[in-house]
Amino acid sequence: MTPLKLIFAGTPEFSASHLKALNESEHQLIAVYTQPDRPAGRGKKLQASPVKQFAEAAGIPVYQPASLKTPEAQAELAALGADAMIVVAYGLILPTEVLQAPRLGCINVHASLLPRWRGAAPIQRAIEAGDAQSGTTIMQMDAGLDTGAMLATASVPIGPETTAASLHDELAHCGAPLLLDVLADLPGHQQRAQQQDDSQANYAHKILKAEAEIDWHRDAAELDLAIRAFNPFPVCFSLLNGQRVKIWSARPAGNAPLGEPPGTILRAGRDGILVNCGTGQLAIERLQLPGGKPLSAEQALNGSADLLSPGTQFQPLPQAEN
């Protein structure tokens, strides 16, 4: 293997795990690109991205342009003379001038089995859609949105308890070694690259907070998928006696039609809080009341039995709060 001179571009924790693997490899990281510091937390103080924090600790030069569309930013990147640029959830569009600047182009690590989910939220949309598997694709970037030729893939199963958080961690775990395998013979992988079948592509839209409100008229199995897809963000919720209750974990618990309106609590006990849905029932296993921390159903009942008693009904948010 001939060590490569690499630029790395990424921003969140998922990116940082790949940067860490590259930093421990034989390749030479000559620069890291990440998005500008953003206000975060209650004090809205500027906070560096996980990628920037790691790069600075490792002594790697950090660049934070607001855009790569300016001639100045493009000239600065080209002057680095990289063999390749590794892009992992960077969050900025790469113009053609940047895609063509490194000798071997730009390589993307994408958190889905392309072309199944292109776009901003492939992990969440795969769970929400009820996919049986997800995975990581190493891709040669082109001018399209996640449309480049595939260099390698690795799949992971999506089980009945998989959440966006657990799938994120699994994909980060399998993506880094797959990336290193590709870089060990990048020209060879590029020669064997496989074009995507555009007819099989779906767009993974960005997650909106409003999507997390539970519509109890839906099928219980669909709500289970949504609750797992939106854990840990934005976390599904519903209104109970005027209080916003977050639902962290639940499971479908029956299909027999019942006469109670959707959203009605049917039973509450150690094994869950059973709620009637449009089709079937859902047993809430872990929930969070306002101002509190996530609790098991049993723990929540110990302190809020009246609120969660049978017959109480979850309600939709008033229109003005949506």
Strands 118-119 and 203-204: parallel
Judge contact between 162 and 149, C-beta under 8 A: no
112 assigned to a ligand binding site: yes
Q: How far is CA 301 from CA 117, 247, 269, 284, in A?
A: 39, 14, 8, 12
Q: What are phi and psi of 111, to 5 degrees?
A: -90, 55
Return the DSSP state at 70. S
Distance CA 279, CA 257 (A): 7
For residue 157, the tally of other CB atoms under 10 A from its CB is 12
| DSSP-derived 3-state class of residue 179 | helix
104 assigned to a ligand binding site: no
Angle separating helix axes 13-23 and 164-184, nearest 10 degrees: 30
Residues facing 6 on adjacent strands: 29, 84
Please report how many Cα atoms fall inside a 13 Å half-sphere around the Cα of residue 9, on the Cβ side. Answer: 26
114 assigned to a ligand binding site: yes
For residue 199, the tally of other CB atoms under 10 A from its CB is 6
113 assigned to a ligand binding site: yes
Distance CA 77, CA 74 (A): 5
Binding site feature residues for (6S)-5,6,7,8-tetrahydrofolate: 112-115
Binding site feature residues: 112-115
